[in-house]
Copies of this chain bind each other. A is one copy, B any other.
C-alpha cells in the first residue's frame, strides 16, 4: 500500500481527472497507472510531472526508445522497482528486445563498477578530457 491513497476517478479532484483524461487520450488506453493515482493527491504536481514526461520523452534529437532505455538505466542505478517495471513495459512496446535489455543492463553494471573504481581511487580527470575554457 502506498503512503497516500491511490485515487480512483471518483475520488480525484477535477484538476487531476483532467490529467487522467489526457493520459488516456495520449496513450490510447483507458488504463491510468498507480503513480498518477498517487500523484493525484497533489494535482499541481500531477500536472507538472505528466507535462514533463510528455515533453522530455517526446521524439527529439534522441528517439523515444533510446529515451526509455536511459530511463531504465537511471532507474536501475537508483533501484526504483516501480519505474523499472513500467519503463521496461514502455520500452518493450517501443521495440526493446530481450537482447537490447540485456545489453542495457550490462552497460549499467559496468558503469556502476567503473564509477566506483574511479571515485574510490580518486582518479583525477586527464587534462585532455577537461573542457577548454
Within 8 A of B (CB), among A25-63: 31, 33-35, 38-39, 41-42, 44-45, 48-49, 51-53, 55-57, 60-62
A62 to chain B, nearest CB (A): 5
Please classify how large the interface on chain A is, using the bins under 10, 10 to 19, 20 to 34, 35 or more.
35 or more
Residues A60 and B99 in contact, CB atoms below 8 Å apart:
yes
* Chain A interface main SS type: helix
Instruction: Tell me how many chains of this kind the complex includes.
Output: 6
Known A-B contacts A106-B56, A116-B108; the reply to A125 vs B81 at CB < 8 A is: yes
Residues A116 and B70 in contact, CB atoms below 8 Å apart:
no
23 A–B pairs (Cβ distance < 8 Å), ordered by A: A2-B124, A2-B131, A4-B102, A31-B128, A33-B129, A35-B114, A41-B98, A56-B103, A62-B103, A62-B104, A66-B69, A67-B103, A70-B104, A75-B115, A76-B119, A77-B78, A79-B119, A81-B119, A81-B125, A82-B125, A84-B122, A85-B130, A112-B116
Knowing that A4-B121, A45-B109, A62-B107 are A-B contacts, what are 20 other residue pairs whose CB atoms are under 8 Å apart, sorted by A's residue number? A2-B131, A3-B88, A3-B120, A41-B98, A41-B102, A61-B100, A71-B107, A72-B120, A73-B74, A73-B77, A74-B111, A76-B119, A77-B77, A80-B119, A83-B115, A85-B129, A86-B126, A105-B120, A109-B117, A112-B115
